[in-house]
Structure 1
């Protein structure tokens, strides 16, 4: 027997049932972020990128930021094992995993983050992708910070001899190798501990892009900054996902992530790095850090001393079946065209 109450109840159930698929389709990606929530890479890159991803997928994919679920060095494994769905990390923290990609950190490659980041992504796609160095995770994008410089607390560097014996904080990878090549003493620590190390005299200085020295508030501990044209080296970073989380996304949403990752995200992150390098030099200079530029004999000696790393990497690339000379030439062609 038909009744109004049963009809209304049926309609209500139908409306509720129709609403279920929309919410069920939503994929929430837990992003383990070990950076401070106010750091520019978080506020100016990751957060707006996440908002754009949610908008482009019409709410089907949403990123939820959580405080770091482990040490910065552990995040590759945290994502691979599914403890987090997404994270970013620094290649140098696990340099042995990425012998090919570490090319993008070599000395004297580019004048800024933008050209080196876009060139890095293009070179990865053209020469390194088949090596599958990110096995166990899904790579979304990679990019470079701005060029690294030499910052010291009390020693002004006017000649190569001035750096010998100085203790310098490094993250590992090429920064460690450069320090040792220049007869400096590398001291290992996360960036978050750099100020305490320098202010207490555990380290005499640091290798850093200007942006990082500024945003990690190292200015008061650093009396001098030696700017190295085209970079003493570069620090490269990458964004990645758990493969099972990736597989939960529809083909359509995977395509959107791909479009918003890769070169798009590399250029987006680089814009922040370059702007912050400029701001950092202005603010640190106003605070008392004295900046000079390596040139003349000092620069010639740096180039001569560090040339060994390019040759070593070419040999490493050959061991992995990659033409290193061709990859480097391609990278430099991209940098030149972008500038």
Structure 2
């Protein structure tokens, strides 16, 4: 009997040593960007490691080896539980998101960091009431840098000279903005932009400077128009499936949010700012893309053309029960305060 008891105790000790004190939760993340893209490499991937550290290993984010589908499907992947965690672009899902258009309006700031942090704060105060991320828990919201116009064999000295050009845009405000400027907006997945330009389907693209480098477009473009504050911005999300989130302990939820929210928005914004600066420096050094800024006359024409669409967008947001003008003013106030304090 003593021998049997000793054997049982030995087995229990072995099992105890092999079993973690806390059950580990694995959340699967689908990534659709190239693995070397700055947003993935410098923001999303480090965030997954921070989650593990913040939860003392109780929650692990598993990076899937390949995306589960196209970029536009990633919000639905999280909402429907196909993936546990996803990130993506709001305007890739037309009709689902309206309040988030606030961050996409033109001329807001040169800094993705300032806009992203201000956006998170204003979203929590004003925009969250629209409940547009249903089916998920919103972990972070942010933008890329100022969206600019890039073309091949097109005169950028006036908006009149650009009329009729076919320009690939991301959707959202950029779609309306392109129409306002007299160009023909073309929709295509970001992963297919090179083929669209190289094949002559489009004459140009609206992108932040970073994306010209990340998607190897230098060889199919020769000019860029750098509009102060950008012609548009793109609003992005990081979400987790609501059901999976609800099964986490309050302790782990709080730990995850401690490395998400405003902190992640700031990190993402800084990543875009660095990448934009590096891309522009590289372009100037290589000399293959001619960079120009609008004249005062051209800038006045751009503002005049876009203003009705800015008003239309604010009206769409207001229809969601949000005081869009107040939210816009708050966004600008936050951006100005962040700039004055150097981002803190």
- Superposition TM-score, scaled by structure 2 size: 0.94
2:342 corresponds in structure 1 to none
Give the distance between the partners of 1:174 and 1:130, measured in 2 at CA: 21
1:304 corresponds in structure 2 to 304
Residue among 15, 24, 28 paired with 2:26: 28
Contact 2:54 2:259 in 1 (8 A): no
Q: CA deviation at 1:14?
A: 3.7
Residue 200 (structure 2) pairs with residue 204 (structure 1): no
Q: CA deviation at 1:233?
A: 0.4
1:44 corresponds in structure 2 to 42
Give the distance between the partners of 2:101 and 2:186, measured in 1 at CA: 20
What is the SS of the residue equivalent to 1:198?
A: helix
Give the distance between the partners of 1:15 and 1:248, measured in 2 at CA: 29
Give the distance between the partners of 1:159 and 1:50, measured in 2 at CA: 45
CA RMSD of aligned residues (A): 1.4
Q: CA deviation at 1:19?
A: 4.5
**Counterparts in 2 of 1:134-283, with a 5 A limit?**
134-283=133-282
2:70 corresponds in structure 1 to 71
More divergent stretch after superposition (312-321 vs 191-200) = 312-321
CA deviations over 1:237-294 (Å, ceiling 9, x no partner): 1000111111221111100111211110000011110000011111123331111112
Give the distance between the partners of 1:76 and 1:63, measured in 2 at CA: 17
Q: CA deviation at 1:79?
A: 1.2
- Detail structure 1 runs of 4+ shifted over 3 Å in the superposition: none
Give the distance between the partners of 1:183 and 1:286, measured in 2 at CA: 32
Give the distance between the partners of 1:118 and 1:168, measured in 2 at CA: 30
Contact 1:226 1:292 in 2 (8 A): yes
What is the SS of the residue equivalent to 1:59?
A: coil
What is the SS of the residue equivalent to 1:96?
A: coil
- Superposition TM-score, scaled by structure 1 size: 0.96
Contact 2:24 2:60 in 1 (8 A): yes
Q: CA deviation at 1:81?
A: 1.3
Q: CA deviation at 1:119?
A: 1.0
Q: CA deviation at 1:27?
A: 0.7
Unaligned runs of 5+ in 1: none
1:321 corresponds in structure 2 to 321
CA deviations over 1:59-95 (Å, ceiling 9, x no partner): 1111111111011111111111111001101011014
Q: CA deviation at 1:310?
A: 2.1
What is the SS of the residue equivalent to 1:97?
A: coil
Q: CA deviation at 1:151?
A: 0.3
Unaligned runs of 5+ in 2: 340-344
Contact 2:54 2:256 in 1 (8 A): no
1:118 corresponds in structure 2 to 117
Contact 1:210 1:277 in 2 (8 A): yes
Q: CA deviation at 1:55?
A: 1.0
Residue 57 (structure 2) pairs with residue 59 (structure 1): yes
Residue 79 (structure 2) pairs with residue 80 (structure 1): yes
